[in-house]
Amino acid sequence: MKLCVLNGSPKGNKESITMQYIYYSERLFPKHNFESINIGQILNNMKINDKRFKTIIQQIKSADGIIWCFPIYTTLVPAQLKKFIELLFEQDKNPFQDKYTICLSTSMKFYDMMAHNYMNAVCEDLGLKYVGFYSAHTFDFLEFKYRRKWYTFLDYFLNIIGEQQQITKRYLPIKDREFAYNPEMDSNFKKINNQEKKIVILTDYSNNDTNIAKMIEQFKNCFTEKIIQYNINKENIKGGCLGCLKCGLDNQCVYKDDFCQLFQNIKNSDILVYAGTIKDRFLSSQFKMYFDRCFHNGHTPSMEGMQICFLISGPLSQIANLREWIAAMVELGYANLVDIVTDEYEDSKIIDRLIRNMAKNAVNLNERDYSSPSTFYEVGGYKIFRDMIFGLPGAIFRMDYNFFKEREMFNFPTRDWKGRISRVFLSFLLKSKKIRKKFKSNLPYAMTAAFHKEMNEIDFVNELAQIKQEINV
């Protein structure tokens, strides 16, 4: 059988950790032919010439099965692979139609499922028969039990191809629609004074006559002063993240371009607006390149205290994974998501009002210094980072280590001596049948006792005055 391996790692075939699984498979499945293509490295500058692209298409066409092999980058596939996927969607004839496929990734298991959800949907959109994914931890390969697991998975995949099995589908195709947004000014709308606010828009549009360009203009029209705007396509950014990890020690990127300056310019905004058009099932690969390159800032929040707004052109409500990605990305950045306005309403007046409301609310929330409480996205995410940075990777990600230490984020429960001693003491008491019985009958009250006590002690008049003073109302 001929298997075409599409390697999305910008590090190339030899230095990619993920690709080690393929070299291993070549040894264990000698009858099969694995043909690897260095997609990530070829597209490091986010470009590929026609001739090379056509050769790759021919290689894909002649394969019996496709293995997408990639590291997880910023909770998705690397920007370079995303760009390749965008180019595939531009093809008249689909080279993948009805071919069987699997996805293989390595990562620190930080939001790996988001990347696989994305790939699952994209594979189905490309007409592939998506069999499943194998998400390995970066260091799994070093243990026999995981190599055996991978062997079993690949063998299972080869059997499915051999038997030409029918495959279940998970995603509905995206329903496209034509809608031209025509913004209107509202003479009754009082423009918002933004003299003392730093408001930045980050976009990637290349045509003024698009919905997203018009949505941006409408947002800008809400304010008295000029809004700063950066267009990723117009900035001097030489390419996607190379995955070299050299930034870990000092937050310096190896690229000699303007990305880090752009990142700094955006970093201390009060309000940041991401404005882009959906391409396949995410924002564009240019936007993805921006997010990947933010990796030079390490595993620390990059939008702390900011109000984040999204303007999106495209079918966001049909892509739950992207919506979740946005919510997670904002939380992990220690920022607050004000709203996401899309052009899906197909009614310009509604979109106008939503944009104005978002502008007003962003300023309001900024003035009150509001940030929504964290959910699993942030709590779970930072626990993974914490454990990683505390271990060996902390030596490479030195800046992250210092940050976590300074903020007292190495807050392992093992260090909670009071809690641990109380647990041992309570466990000992609960060995007694009599105490256990009493404990069970008192449990609901015991859980809320501290809350009732606190509620009784609150001085509501003073507390309300203090809150109002602190949030300036």
Which of these, 368, 186, 338, lies nearest to 272 by C-alpha position? Answer: 338
Q: Using the rule CB under 6 A, is 72 a contact of ligand FMN? A: yes
Q: How far is the CB of 239 from ligand FMN (least distance, A)?
A: 12
Nearer Cβ to ligand FMN (44/194): 44
Q: How far is the CB of 399 from ligand FMN (least distance, A)?
A: 15
Q: Which residue has the tokens 């990619």?
A: 16
Question: Both tokens of residue 353?
Answer: 């009002």
Where are the alpha helices (H) located in 71-172, listed in sequence order? 79-89, 112-125, 144-163
Q: Using the rule CB under 6 A, is 9 a contact of ligand FMN? A: yes
Q: Using the rule CB under 6 A, is 17 a contact of ligand FMN? A: yes
Q: Using the rule CB under 6 A, is 221 a contact of ligand FMN? A: no
Nearer Cβ to ligand FMN (73/223): 73
| CA dist., res. 395 & res. 401, Å (int) | 8
Q: Looking at 13, 18, 300, 336, which residue binds ligand FMN (CB under 6 A)? A: 18
| CA dist., res. 270 & res. 338, Å (int) | 12
Q: Using the rule CB under 6 A, is 138 a contact of ligand FMN? A: yes
Q: Using the rule CB under 6 A, is 321 a contact of ligand FMN? A: no
For residue 272, the cross-strand partners are 200, 308
Where are the alpha helices (H) located in 397-432, listed in sequence order? 398-406, 417-429
Q: How far is the CB of 31 from ligand FMN (least distance, A)?
A: 26
Q: Using the rule CB under 6 A, is 125 a contact of ligand FMN? A: no
Where does this chain touch ligand FMN (CB under 6 A) — which range of 67-75, 94-102, 199-207, 371-379?
Answer: 67-75
Question: Mask 426-455, x = binds ligand FMN (CB under 6 A)?
Answer: ------------------------------
Q: Looking at 63, 79, 241, 335, which residue binds ligand FMN (CB under 6 A)? A: 241
Q: Using the rule CB under 6 A, is 11 a contact of ligand FMN? A: yes
Q: Using the rule CB under 6 A, is 109 a contact of ligand FMN? A: yes
Residue 98, SS3 per DSSP: coil
| CA dist., res. 428 & res. 199, Å (int) | 58
| CA dist., res. 269 & res. 32, Å (int) | 54
For residue 94, the cross-strand partners are none
Q: Looking at 25, 107, 297, 321, which residue binds ligand FMN (CB under 6 A)? A: 107
Which residues does 89 contact at the CB level (< 8 Å), separation at least 6? 125, 126, 279, 280
Nearer Cβ to ligand FMN (75/120): 75
| Residues written for the chain | 473
Dihedral (Cα; 71, 77, 80, 82), 10-degree rounding: 160
Tell me the pairing of strands 2-7 and 65-71: parallel
Question: Mask 75-94, x = binds ligand FMN (CB under 6 A)?
Answer: x-------------------
Question: Mask 278-297, x = binds ligand FMN (CB under 6 A)?
Answer: --------------x--x--
Q: Looking at 36, 41, 44, 106, which residue binds ligand FMN (CB under 6 A)? A: 106
Q: How far is the CB of 248 from ligand FMN (least distance, A)?
A: 9
| CA dist., res. 108 & res. 165, Å (int) | 32
Residues within the interface to ligand FMN (CB under 6 A): 9, 11, 16-18, 71-75, 106-112, 138, 241, 243, 292, 295
